[in-house]
Amino acid sequence: MDMDQAAVFLAGSVLTALGGLVILGAVLIANNLIAKYWKTWGWQWMPAWAHEPNRFVSEAEAEKIAPTMDKKVNATS
């Protein structure tokens, strides 16, 4: 009798976990389908103080970077 209860518990646990995964998958699919129609609330997992602030390159740092084709070069030199 104890083995029957253990088997039922195992089967119930596995089926409950699979059911949860199916529901989670359905929610994610539905979210991706309607994501372009709703706007975010602006919440994030981490607080604002934990994010690294935006950093812009200075002129001195920009001169150290290898030149690219988007700058015009003086052809007379």
Count of domains for the chain: 1
Range of the domain at 52: 2-35+45-64
Residue with tokens 């029957």: 4
Buried b (16+ CB within 10 A) or exposed e, 11-50: eeeeeeeeeeeeeeeeeeeeeeeeeeeeeeeeeeeeeeee
The dihedrals phi and psi of 27, each to the nearest 5 degrees, come to: -65, -45
Q: Is residue 75 part of a domain?
A: no
Domain assignment of residue 52, yes or no: yes
Give residue-wise pLDDT tens across range 5-46.
999 999 999 999 999 999 999 999 988 888 777 776 666 677
In a domain, 70, yes or no: no
Is 73 inside a domain boundary? no
29 phi/psi in degrees, rounded to 5: -65, -45
Pick the more confident residue, 2 or 15. Answer: 15
pLDDT tens for residues 59-74? 888 888 877 666 565 6
Cα 14 to Cα 5: distance, rounded to the nearest angstrom: 14
In a domain, 76, yes or no: no
